Structure 1
Amino acid sequence: MGSRLTIGEFATLTHLSVRTLRRYHADGLLEPAAIDPFTNYRYYAPEQIPNAQVIHQLRRLDVPLQEIKRILATDDAGRREEVIAGHLSQLEAELARTQAAVASLRRLVHPEPAEIEVDLPTLPARTVAAVKSTVHLQDSLAWYDEAMAELDAAFPPGERTGPPGGHYANDLFTAGHGLMTVFRPVRTPRPSGRVEVMELPPVELAVTVHAGSHDDIDVTYGRLGAWVATHALAVDGPIQEVYRVGPRDTPTAADWRTEIGWPVFRLSGKSAARESSS
């Protein structure tokens, strides 16, 4: 083929159609290396193959033309990589939101299991190691990961006496920002960096277990809330979660088990109940 590639050869090597390459040229995204002044045939250089493929993938991801031009115009490879990585992060976040919405809708249409089990334990006062901060809801997952990493670093497995948990203020859900607290029961709680010693007061809870991925955990929240509205008196207090098995224990989402606790005042003497979704 030599050092110049015809548009047909270039199309074969990049798996892009001739029509697509002509459109990239017209849009100013990918200029041919040379155009014959007599025949107007387009010729491309082998070095243009990676750029053609990058453009194609960015267009498939609906990156605007002007943004692609900006990415290709920079001679700073690090800056180019940074811009592309930013777009990938946005797309991954959108994909995660889509997957979570699909999982929730599927479970709402076909509830599994048809019933949820609810226990009504009374938890005693406890002293734990904790990290807390006011957080925006969209930042909550990243904040949780950072806070748990601090707790794990401060208290290795031999010092832990139970699974980690979290308290989430109602404002986090109703206003989009609120107090988040993550904690670990440990043998000897002590401050370290952002980690502080916290006293958890005694509390009565309505508790159910969400099995599997957190994508549809909002459905379990809703069903537990419906149970509380029917069987108990909800009281002010943060929603509580305990991560019996979570992402920090296994990457297999099907094995995750998250206890969700809703602060209540009991209306009956029952210690457990079942709620039908019908």
Structure 2
Amino acid sequence: MTATVPIGEFSRLTYLSVKALRYYHDIALLEPAAIDPGSGYRRYSVDQVPAAHLIRRLRALDMPVAEIRTVLGAADPTARDAALRAHLLRMEEELNRTRDVVASLRALLAPGTRALQVEYRSTAAFPALTVTDGVARADIGPWCGSAFALLYRTLAAAGVAPTGPGGATYSAAWFAEDAGEVTAYIPVPPGTRGPLPAAAGTHPAPMLAELPGGRFAVAVHEGGFEDFDRSYGALGSHVAAHDVSLPEPIREIYLAGPDLVDDPAGYRTEICWPIR
């Protein structure tokens, strides 16, 4: 017969406070093995110690209670491990984001300012395969990743080779309202005709379109996107002092990004500011 212990003793076995154990009982996360009907005293089985240890660690990792309940209730180790791996991946992504923000803040606080080289470029209209959608600022990273994957799959299925690096255009609303129209594009050879073979994806269907030409003030942002605002600020300030900004979408060209470089420190992005 499995031994049982009162809640105070179980607290010592598990490093969980009595208050925490009562809370986990109330929300049906870790229920006592038995409750005395007269006194209401809780008793726990020593077989519950591993589950309590797991709960303690998962709560330390900020796993939501609903997900912990899924882990504890998993019918087999495979389902349990999949839920744990998904949470650990989210934690690692958040840790990486925090490190990037800390590095960006340290750079911002460092004495002096980064010199930004600005060049001027006039471009003609050119054909491209595009995906256009309304995108929230918070979703732009995953959106761009899946949009470009869809564009490249579509071109590969059609046997069409890109004629240059991919890019994206960002509407004024995207900046002003934290959500707005974004167009991801990949340049294609003149004369490319559609419709191209459809490639599976969650985005609107890729379309062949002509991206308009124009005159731009151009600067290159080196590295990841946590301090992208500093490059935007420097380029936009230069334009304000020396040029006339136009309300057309700002264009970014991804010279080296996640599909080419593993380390974000190696990313290179051209920011093309439309000017008169």
TM-score for the superposition, normalised by structure 1:
0.74
Quote the Cα distance in structure 2 between the aligned partners of 1:72 and 1:24: 19
Query: Is structure 2 residue 108 aligned with structure 1 residue 108?
Result: yes
Query: Is structure 2 residue 216 aligned with structure 1 residue 205?
Result: yes
Query: Is structure 2 residue 252 aligned with structure 1 residue 252?
Result: no
SS of 2:233's partner is helix
Quote the Cα distance in structure 2 between the aligned partners of 1:223 and 1:70: 46
Percent identity among equivalent residues?
34
Instruction: Check 1:255–1:83 CA distance in 2 against 1; reply closer, same or farther (3 A cut).
Output: closer
SS of 1:51's partner is helix
Instruction: Check 1:50–1:191 CA distance in 2 against 1; reply closer, same or farther (3 A cut).
Output: farther
Stretch deviating more after TM superposition (68-77 or 192-201): 68-77
Instruction: Check 1:250–1:72 CA distance in 2 against 1; reply closer, same or farther (3 A cut).
Output: closer
The one-letter code sitting in structure 2 at the alignment partner of 1:167 is T
1:34-45 mapped onto 2 (5 Å cutoff): 44-45=45-46
Partner of 2:202: none
Partner of 1:138: 138
Partner of 2:153: 153
Superposition deviation, residue 81 in structure 1: 8.5
Partner of 2:194: 190
Query: Is structure 2 residue 178 aligned with structure 1 residue 176?
Result: yes
Instruction: Check 1:171–1:207 CA distance in 2 against 1; reply closer, same or farther (3 A cut).
Output: same
C-alpha offsets along residues 78-104 of structure 1, whole Å, 9 cap, x if unaligned?
998998889778767765664454344
Quote the Cα distance in structure 2 between the aligned partners of 1:111 and 1:77: 57
Q: Which runs of 5+ in 1 are unaligned?
A: 266-278
Instruction: Check 1:55–1:191 CA distance in 2 against 1; reply closer, same or farther (3 A cut).
Output: same
The one-letter code sitting in structure 2 at the alignment partner of 1:229 is A
Contact 1:206/1:264, CA 8 A, preserved across alignment = yes
Stretch deviating more after TM superposition (148-157 or 96-105): 96-105
Superposition deviation, residue 126 in structure 1: 0.7
Count, aligned residues: 255
TM-score for the superposition, normalised by structure 2:
0.74
SS of 1:197's partner is strand
SS of 1:115's partner is coil
Q: Which has the higher contact order (CA 8 A, sep 6+)?
A: 1
Quote the Cα distance in structure 2 between the aligned partners of 1:41 and 1:260: 64
SS of 1:259's partner is strand
Instruction: Check 1:208–1:50 CA distance in 2 against 1; reply closer, same or farther (3 A cut).
Output: farther
Quote the Cα distance in structure 1 between the aligned partners of 2:252 and 2:111: 22
SS of 2:226's partner is helix
C-alpha offsets along residues 132-152 of structure 1, whole Å, 9 cap, x if unaligned?
112222222222222111111
